[in-house]
Structures are given as C-alpha cells and as structure tokens.
Amino acid sequence: MTALGPAERAVLLAFADDEHLMGQRHTEWIGVAPFLEEDLAFASIGQDELGHAAMLYELVIADLSGETPRAEAVDALAFRREPADYRSCWLVEAACTEWASALVRHWLYDTAEALRWGELAGSSEEHLRAIAGRAMSEERYHLRHADALLDALAGDADAGARIAAALTEMLPLGVALFDEPLGSDGAVESVVGRPLAALAPEWRAAVDRRFGQREWATVEPVVQDGRTLRSAPFETVYADMREVIMLDPDATW
C-alpha cells in the first residue's frame, strides 16, 4: 500500500500537525472558558480536532509500513519529533490567552479546515475519503458553534472591539496557514486535492462575509519558511503536550 508519495505525505502530515496543535490549544480552555456550558463545548471541539489528527497520523504511518499502526508509532509521530520536524502553522501554535483571540482563531481555523477536508472528501483514495467524511460531519457543528458565539456577541460594543482587535492580531497568522509545507510540491491533486494556496481565496471571501470587507494586500503573512520554523509560543505547548510521555520515555502504555 504505497498510494501516497512523499509530497502527498507532506501535505497530510502538515494537516495532522495543524489538527494536533489546534486540539491541544483548545483543550487549554478546560475550566477557564467564559461560562460552564462553553467550557465543555470548546473542550469537546478540541477533542474532535485531536481525533482528526490521530486519523491522519495513522493513515500516514499505515501507508509507509503497510500495516495497521501501533499506538506507539502514532505517539512517536505526534509527540516525539524535534520541533523543527513539525509542520504546524503559526495560527495553531499561538497561545491565544484572551477569549476573543481563541474564538476568532477557532472560526478562522475551522473555516480553513472545512475547505481542506472538502478537498480530501473527493480523494481517489478510499481511506482518505472515509476519514474526510467523518471530519466534515464534525466541522459543520464546529462552524455552527463559532458562528453562534460570534452572532451573539455581534451586538455588543465591547465584544465587537475585542473581536476586531483579535482579528487584527490573528489574520497575519491566518493567511500563513495557506503556506505550502516543505516537500509538498507536486502533490497529486486527485489524491490530496488542490494545494493550500488555491483554497486561500475562498477562505478570504468567507472572512470578508463574516467580519466585513478588508484590504488583504495590507495583511502581511508571518514567515514560516515552508512551515519549518516554529513560533515562540510553540515551546510551551510542546512541553505541555509531552509532559506525561516524557516522564518515562520508555514506558509501554
């Protein structure tokens, strides 16, 4: 089973890393979300994203080994790489300690994520189509959740100002989500869909519909260098997510 080449694997691994880091960052709101019901809902969404990451990591490993991946192999990919080997974008690495930033990032990310799964839903690979179908059904809920919160806050002047500031802060990271990961050049479109750069216009149009028209030329994307550079906040999230597994790196789980 070597349906994927290195370029297709690079595309899927970068997506998996985005999902992994996004899930990890969302779960940081457990216990401190603005109200109890949101606390549970947001953590659940984070859990869904971690599930998407696991499905993608498993698919990449199974493709390489030809076998059903063992949990250790998935953990190795998810937790035991060096920071420079991750291919996450900076949007999902950001700490977003203010709720407005976390909420705006949630909307920006899930809108992009739905576009990416939409591409994989048309894959020639049955495995990819199957996990894309599952993820898409969850993304409909994630986006409805993000839109419901933004709609509810829209009428409030203070909330509106906070959301506008969060958007200004997040957009340079958001546009950089569409940077192609290193090694993904020439990935076969019938397998992994169109390249990220081709999805960016649809995403920008959705942002304009949600938050109002803007001058995109003025939004300067952060420089991630083929997603090989990690942002400053990565260090703490990397330490947090490896805290338990590194207590005893040789333990069998």
Partner 1 sequence: MNVYEVFLKKQGKDEFRHVGSLEAANDELAIVLARENYVRRAEGELMWVVDRDHVLVGDEEFIAPNADKPHRHNDGSLVAERRRAGRAGSDESDESGAM
Residues interacting with partner 1, by CB under 8 A?
35-38, 40-41, 44-45, 141, 144-145, 148-149, 151-152
Q: CB 99 → partner 1: shortest distance, Å?
A: 14
Q: Closest CB to partner 1 among 42 and 238?
A: 42
Three-state helix/strand/coil letters over 20-32 = HHHHHHHHCCCCC
Within 13 Å and on the Cβ side, how many CA atoms surround 56? Answer: 27
Distance CA 102, CA 65 (A): 37
Q: CB 106 → partner 1: shortest distance, Å?
A: 13
Q: Closest CB to partner 1 among 66 and 155?
A: 155
Positive or negative, the CA dihedral 130, 136, 137, 138 is: positive
The token pair that represents 144 in the structure block:
């409805």
Q: Closest CB to partner 1 among 145 and 227?
A: 145
Q: CB 100 → partner 1: shortest distance, Å?
A: 16
Cα 12 to chain centroid, rounded = 11
Q: Closest CB to partner 1 among 79 and 141?
A: 141
Q: CB 45 → partner 1: shortest distance, Å?
A: 8
